[in-house]
Amino acid sequence: MIPYENLKRLNEPFEAEYKTAFNAVLEKGHYILGHKLELFEQEFAAYHSAKYCVGISNGLDAIILALKALDLPAGSEVIVPANTYIATVLAVIACNLTPVMVDPDINTYNIDPAKIEQAITPKTKVLLVVHLYGKMCDMDPIMQLKQKHGLYLIEDCAQAHGATYKGKLAGTFGEFGAFSFYPTKNLGALGDAGGVICNTEAHRDSLMQLRNYGSSRKYYNDVVGYNNRLDEMQAAFLSVKLPHLNRMNAQRNKLADLYLANLPSKYILPAKNKDYYDVYHIFNIRYPQRDALQQYLQDKGIGTVIHYPVPPHRQKAMADIFAGQEFPIADEIHNTTLSLPCSFCHTESEIMEVINVLNNY
């Protein structure tokens, strides 16, 4: 039996350190907005050579607060990829902004820069790009569009901790890099957690106010805020894991390289390009009879997941918003994609076993 993911096993190497971190917080008796959070924020900012990191309750709220910090007029348009996880689109809607979806590139599964310009209108204010599956978007043309049209850029880095494009880290290209530390992510906490990196003091201050009831000074509220803080316990656990992020990503790369070298061409494999360091949050293949293949693998004891079975524009919740709009590339990806085991918890021999089963199919 090879599970798609096993969080207990993934976290085992860190258990002793987690217990020390837990005890330290318990002993201190300070649970919200304390030293552990400040420490993790400094470490995560330093990892990115960014000026600031603001810890946030989860990845969805991280995107919401980044959008809120831009203080845009209601109804402003935000460009998002059509094949993202629903959270990206929900964040835009939660801010009373209008999501404008752009179809992805069939080779990279990321937003197709060539299709962005035709979606830009006078109301467009933000490019909200998603580095899906752990591969960064094609950032050169995206940065050109940002400059040319004077747009803000927010990167949804929930699947791309440590990924690079031409040597530059995910989250460091735009005004904000928004991260999720949900337990399954490349840098995962032991519960819900998130964060935003940025480089101006004004943006940092705004995020810190918004996450704490709109207040910088206790019981004095300057803006309408929320309760979106990252707690001390999760921050302490994240500080344990962050020093291992590059090594964990390297392990995922090693496993991905086994797939890339040994899977037959009947499966469409993820593109690999020297300009990109992919961190394989998800290692997906595409196959026309995907559901039958998934069933076969399950019968052989191999767990797989579909990321994602239904694209945002076909979700019941979004029926009114995207009525009549077509995103054929997103549909094609959703209909054929299958994610294989490729986690820090997996061994090379397990992956060779998956490869063996796929070769015999």
Ligand X SMILES: *Cc1c(COP(=O)(O)O)cnc(C)c1O
Q: Which residues bind ligand X (CB under 6 A)?
A: 58-60, 84-85, 87-88, 130, 156, 158-159, 180, 182, 192, 194
Tell me the residue nearest to ligand X as measured from the CB: 59
Nearest approach, Cβ of 61 to ligand X (angstroms)?
7
Nearest approach, Cβ of 86 to ligand X (angstroms)?
8
Q: Which is nearer to ligand X, 159 or 249 (CB)?
A: 159
Q: Which is nearer to ligand X, 154 or 208 (CB)?
A: 154
Nearest approach, Cβ of 50 to ligand X (angstroms)?
19
Beta strand pairing call for 124-130 and 152-156: parallel
98 burial level (CB within 10 Å; 0-12, 13-18, 19+): middle
Phi, psi at 39, each rounded to 5°:
-65, -50
Q: Which is nearer to ligand X, 130 or 293 (CB)?
A: 130
User: Which value, to the nearest 10 degrees, does the dihedral of the CA atoms of residues 139, 118, 121, 136 take?
Assistant: -20
Nearest approach, Cβ of 334 to ligand X (angstroms)?
14
Nearest approach, Cβ of 256 to ligand X (angstroms)?
18
Nearest approach, Cβ of 282 to ligand X (angstroms)?
9
Query: Cα 311 from chain centroid?
Result: 16
Q: Which is nearer to ligand X, 196 or 358 (CB)?
A: 196
3-class secondary structure, 110: coil
H-helix segments, the chain = 7-11, 15-28, 35-47, 59-69, 86-94, 139-149, 201-210, 232-241, 245-262, 290-299, 328-336, 348-360
Q: Which is nearer to ligand X, 94 or 120 (CB)?
A: 94
Q: Which is nearer to ligand X, 187 or 258 (CB)?
A: 187
Q: Which is nearer to ligand X, 187 or 358 (CB)?
A: 187
Tokens representing 55 are 């810890």
Give the per-residue SS3 of 23-72. HHHHHHCCCECCHHHHHHHHHHHHHCCCCEEEEECCHHHHHHHHHHHCCC
Q: Which is nearer to ligand X, 58 or 172 (CB)?
A: 58
Beta strand pairing call for 98-102 and 77-81: parallel
Nearest approach, Cβ of 281 to ligand X (angstroms)?
7
- Phi-psi domain of 198 (left: phi exceeds 0; alpha: psi -120 through 50; beta: other): beta
Nearest approach, Cβ of 307 to ligand X (angstroms)?
8
Name 230's bridge partners. none
Name 338's bridge partners. 285
